[in-house]
Homo-oligomer: A and B are copies of this chain.
Amino acid sequence: MALRHAVLAALLDGERSGYQLAKAFDVGMANFWHALPQQLYAELAKLEREGLVAGREVVQEARPNKRLFTVTEAGSAELERFAATPSKPSFIRDDLLVKVAAADSVDPAELISRLDERAEASRAKLDLFDGLLATMRGDLDEDEFLARGTGIGPYLTCLRGRVFESENRDWCARTADVLRNRARLRSE
């Protein structure tokens, strides 16, 4: 049950609307937790009922009104409690890996296409992360920022996401090469 904690963590940066959270859970946060808008609106409502976040209505003219949420004292305490809890082992849950696991019985040409698509997507995400990291760092270099900067939590998780995507890209390229090479050998 960690979506609630992911929402609380995302709210530490400052107050956010459900809509803003939905975007955060589609880029930065999405490295380690993904959620659709519906789920976030539902979770915010539940957290508010339980007193872990507090919402305030902001009336707007040119746009629909919105509600901005902040973590309460009780919310901070809950995060603290959660951080002291042992973590379950993590795992990748990936369609593409399921397909590669079936490599011996499935059309290699299709598999290679999927791998190329994913490599491309990973490259794009890498660029996105590099941009996010540079923004968070400001004018400090990385060591300086990590030693004395503020808001290192999101920076550290983004670093994990960056490496993950970089390994994704490399593995896809290497795996596609292996499959292409086997296809070549078979046709000789």
Report the interface size for chain A: residues with CB under 8 A from the other chain: 71
The answer to whether A12 and B99 have CB atoms under 8 Å apart is no
The answer to whether A105 and B178 have CB atoms under 8 Å apart is no
9 A-B pairs with the lowest CB-CB distances in the bound complex, closest first: A32-B97, A103-B153, A90-B94, A9-B102, A87-B96, A9-B101, A83-B106, A87-B95, A83-B99
Question: Which residues of A1-59 are within 8 A (CB) of B?
Answer: 2, 5-6, 8-10, 12, 29-34
The answer to whether B104 and A95 have CB atoms under 8 Å apart is no
A60 to chain B, nearest CB (A): 29
Question: Which residues of A129-150 are within 8 A (CB) of B?
Answer: 146-148, 150
Q: Which residues of B contact A110 (CB under 8 A)?
A: 80, 83-84
The answer to whether B152 and A103 have CB atoms under 8 Å apart is yes
A156: which of B2, B30, B175 is its contact (CB, 8 Å)?
Answer: B175
The answer to whether B153 and A91 have CB atoms under 8 Å apart is no
The answer to whether B32 and A92 have CB atoms under 8 Å apart is yes
The answer to whether B91 and A32 have CB atoms under 8 Å apart is yes
The answer to whether A98 and B160 have CB atoms under 8 Å apart is no
What are 19 A-B pairs at a CB distance below 8 A?
Answer: A5-B99, A9-B98, A31-B97, A32-B98, A82-B98, A83-B107, A83-B111, A87-B94, A87-B99, A87-B114, A89-B118, A92-B161, A101-B153, A104-B152, A147-B178, A147-B181, A152-B182, A160-B167, A164-B164
The answer to whether B148 and A185 have CB atoms under 8 Å apart is yes
A163 CB–B CB distance under 8 Å? yes
A88 CB–B CB distance under 8 Å? yes
